[in-house]
Structure 1
């Protein structure tokens, strides 16, 4: 290669180097900022996940501690006092309702369950379980037609609590004086899928008590 060609290449390389240095001086901060954002974002994500895990563990410990209280009233009071929101609040409300007895605490639990059942932001399995527990907690003190209206969406095919909802519908129909309709609900429990052995047995016994043919008979 001739000296002129070598000189041209050296000049060209020097121009490229000067341009690169100039670009780095002018725009290099953007690359540095991008790196910082990536590293910072990953750190923030890890910190947020660690905090969520710590909060979940703390909530689990608090729930377990509440459930170790000696009486149902104390367990319900402690659970209801936990500072939670969203799905955690729904879970705690359902647990507290399971510890509810007669009197004022029951009325408070019914209202808390109603709020969960009507919260469209919660997953279906929370809202429908809250509605089912609310009806069970109210029992015969609630109007049969109101109970049936609440239970009807829960008893649709494919719903997670269809079988226990059908049982509660049968009880509401009995209270309303509709024995034949109640028998229909009970037979759906016995003949359908998804019901526990205990629920099937209760349904079969109630069918006999209402004068219907026993399951398989």
Structure 2
């Protein structure tokens, strides 16, 4: 390579470098802004996660402290005093208060509070379904048999998360109505359902025996499935 070619290469490289620096001076702020946005976004995400975890822990601690009160009225008052702006958390508190009222024998108040949760459009669907199920399961002395049956049938639709629990309650409604055969059929279907938990199968089997049914035919169905 001649001295002339070497000189030209050096000049060309210097021009490239000058153009690069000029470009960086002109648009470098964009790169800085991107870096700041990434760092800031990461920091905000970590802060939000820590804040959410802290709030959740404080909420759980407040519930545990409320439930440690010795008197039912004190537990209910302590639960009512817990502040939250999240509809799901409020629904949990209301269901706990309803459970305390039910434990004290005030089924009417418990059912009313559960129905209020079930009817709230601000509450996530799963909480509304749980509240409705609890109201129907506890409402024997408050709601009519047909009202409970209709509500439970709505929850027992295939694909619904509380389907099998609703079927169990429907079996109890059948027993209450004096329809033992229908109850046995429901209970046998629960006992062999692949989605049933061990506890639910055990309860279904115990009820089948209590109603005079046989578990012999169920064993084969369970093995086949």
Query: In the alignment, is the contact (CA less than 8 A) between 1:79 and 1:96 conserved in 2?
Result: yes
Matches for 1:12-31 after TM superposition, within 5 Å: 12-31=12-31
Partners of 1:158 and 1:111 in 2: CA distance: 27
Hey, what does 1:214 align to over in structure 2?
A: 213
Residue of structure 2 equivalent to 1:210: none
User: 1:92-107 alignment to 2 at 5 Å?
Assistant: 92-101=93-102, 106-107=107-108
TM-score by length of 1: 0.79
Aligned mates of 2:105, 2:99 — CA distance in 1: 15
> Number of paired residues?
210
Output the TM-score relative to the length of structure 2.
0.77
Alpha-carbon shift at residue 61 of structure 1 (Å): 0.4
Q: Cα deviation per residue 1:168-188 (whole Å; 9 max; x = unaligned)?
A: 223333444545434433444
For the 8 Å contact 1:73–1:101, the answer to whether it is kept is: no
Residue of structure 2 equivalent to 1:50: 50
Structure 1 gap segments, 5+ residues each: 208-212
Task: Sort the Cα spacing of 1:103 and 1:95 in 2 relative to 1 into closer, same or farther, 3 A.
Answer: closer
* 2:137 alignment counterpart: 136
Unaligned runs of 5+ in 2: 217-225
Match of residue 68 from structure 1: 68
* CA deviations over 1:154-174 (Å, ceiling 9, x no partner): 334565444442332233334
State the Cα deviation string for residues 121-150 of structure 1 (Å, max 9, x = none): 6253x3332222111222232011111111
Tell which deviates more after alignment, 171-180 or 89-98: 171-180
